[in-house]
Amino acid sequence: MARIVGGFGISHTPSMGMEYDKGMAKGFDPRWQKWFDGTRAVKAWLEKIRPERLVIVYNDHLNHFDFDAYPTLAIGVAPSFRQADEGWGPRPFPSLVGDVDLGWHLTNRLVRGGYDLTVCQDLAVDHGIYSWFPYLFDTPWDIPIVPLAINMVRHPIPTNERLHGLGKALGEAIRSFPGDQRTVVISTGGMSHQISGARFGIANEALDEFFLSKIKDDVQELVDIPQEEMMRLGGTEASELAIWFSMRGALSDNLVERHRYYTFPAITGCGVIVLEEKAA
């Protein structure tokens, strides 16, 4: 059976990716140098834990799906996932390698467990993954992934409980996959921010820090907070924090926190927390 050796939650934002490209070419802006430095421990953990595959729960930002057809839950099942062009041309990174066998296995288990998935055999991935991936993984990117895309754009969005339950079902499905593959589960969603309306630019660093402090041992306390309250306190897009419940649900309660970091370079809170299974 496949083994989940740990997981992490991490922010994403378009500027995170653009600042990486500029920073590696000409040096980082001091605000983004803090984020680069704060992710070094995550990269080191991944190099130590040596995952053989990744399952990544993220959200698309109208770069593959659009309002004509926007699924609530979608899974990528393909040999590779190309980079979406978000309007400024492709960045100098390769496509992501897909894990077709694990993808179909998860699809069958999750659908039969009550989670109706849109299956994408062609999927372009945007900054939901590409913004932070280069900080943590050196090219060539040969570690296979299975991406799960969550609707966080068109309301009604899935509830906190639904995404936490999805994580639990995902964990069971991964563990039932034949073999002994070391698997890391990742959830990525922006922390406090709002990118539209009169409250554009709102952030709540205290809320972000509170979230990071609770997700390991008190996740149900976070799940019980109404999404409307999270959006009131942290901006409309703070609802993306619900995606992190999928990572936490996939893990056991027998965890060690290996790293936690938070900073606020601009517009969006940038945080990460790494949780390792003690059995790993």
What's the confidence (pLDDT) of residue 197?
Answer: 74
Q: Would you write out the chain's pLDDT as a tens digit for each of its 280 residues?
A: 789 999 999 999 999 999 999 999 999 999 999 999 999 999 999 999 999 999 999 999 999 999 999 999 999 999 999 999 999 888 999 999 999 999 999 999 999 999 999 999 999 999 999 999 999 999 999 999 999 999 999 999 999 999 999 999 999 999 999 999 999 999 999 999 887 777 776 789 999 999 999 999 999 999 999 999 999 999 888 999 999 999 999 999 999 999 999 999 988 899 999 999 998 6
Asked if 75 and 103 touch (Cβ cutoff 8 Å), the reply is: yes
What's the confidence (pLDDT) of residue 88?
Answer: 87
What CA–CA distance (Å, rounded) separates 167 from 37? 29
Beta strands at 96-97 and 268-277: parallel, antiparallel or unpaired: unpaired
What is the 8-class DSSP label of residue 15?
A: H
Least Cα distance to 204 among 267, 160, 254 occurs for 267
Task: Give this prediction's pTM.
Answer: 0.97
What's the confidence (pLDDT) of residue 200?
Answer: 72
CA-to-CA separations, 96 to 77, 123, 139, in angstroms, rounded: 12, 10, 10
Asked if 260 and 272 touch (Cβ cutoff 8 Å), the reply is: yes
The pair phi, psi for residue 194, each rounded to 5°, is -145, 130
- Of the candidates 61, 64, 127, 164, the residue annotated as catalytic is 127
CA-to-CA separations, 262 to 11, 207, 222, in angstroms, rounded: 10, 11, 18
* DSSP line for 127-143: HHHHTTHHHH-PSS--S
Q: Is 127 a catalytic residue?
A: yes
Can you list the domains of the chain with their CATH numbers? 3-277 (3.40.830.10)
Alpha-helix residue ranges (DSSP H) falling in 176-275: 205-214, 219-223, 227-234, 244-250
- Of the candidates 12, 105, 164, 193, the residue annotated as catalytic is 193
145: amino acid identity, one letter: I
